[in-house]
Amino acid sequence: MEEQQGGRPISHSRVTLSRIMTAVDVNLYGTVHGGVLMKFVDDVAGAAAARHSGGTAVTAAIDEIVFLEPVRVGDLVHAYAQVNWTGNSSMEVGVKLAAERWDAVGATPIPVATAYLVFVAVDVAGNPRRVPPVLPEDAADQRRFKEALIRRDHRLARRRAIQRARAEHHPAID
């Protein structure tokens, strides 16, 4: 993949994984367990982060995961991931899951979940290492890049606010 301005285009990181859900994936209600889908999300996001960073990257945080529709046994679920934003060593990865219903083969896959995760690229000792900047390629990439920055600002502001509140009200708790 061609590199520009010392960075990597977002398309370099794009990954799709697909799998058919089976009876071992279900919860007590008979639909696919949220934890199964979360692992699927983490797997595909990790592949995108590794591709962008050219090596190992670990999950630092799962910012937001939304389940839109239940997934059923037999559904073919596609997981799409790409790096939306990069910092120094961290990356935000966006994931979409879409299901082809087992009883509606050939129909357009329906969105079933979305998620945003933060990965940090690490060296062999597990220390953060620098990642190349990600280069948005079109208007949709630009929008995702800007929205990732909003999520990062909110995440950092929330963390600071919680630390302040703990220091004020519970000084003995770390």
Residues of this chain that bind ligand COA (CB under 6 A): 58-61, 87-90, 118, 120, 122, 126, 128
Burial category of 157 from C-beta neighbours within 10 Å (exposed 0-12, middle 13-18, buried 19 and up): exposed
Burial category of 144 from C-beta neighbours within 10 Å (exposed 0-12, middle 13-18, buried 19 and up): buried
To the nearest whole angstrom, how small is the minimum distance from the Cβ of residue 56 to ligand COA? Answer: 9
Integer distance in angstroms from the first to the last C-alpha of the chain?
45
Residue 34 or 87: the one with the smaller Cβ distance to ligand COA is 87
Residue 25 or 42: the one with the smaller Cβ distance to ligand COA is 42
Residue 112 or 148: the one with the smaller Cβ distance to ligand COA is 148
* Dihedral angle over CA of 149, 152, 156, 161, nearest 10: 90
Residue 39 or 143: the one with the smaller Cβ distance to ligand COA is 39
Amino acid present at 68:
L
To the nearest whole angstrom, how small is the minimum distance from the Cβ of residue 48 to ligand COA? Answer: 14
Residue of minimal Cβ distance to ligand COA: 87
Q: Which residues are registered as beta bridge partners of 53?
A: none
To the nearest whole angstrom, how small is the minimum distance from the Cβ of residue 52 to ligand COA? Answer: 13
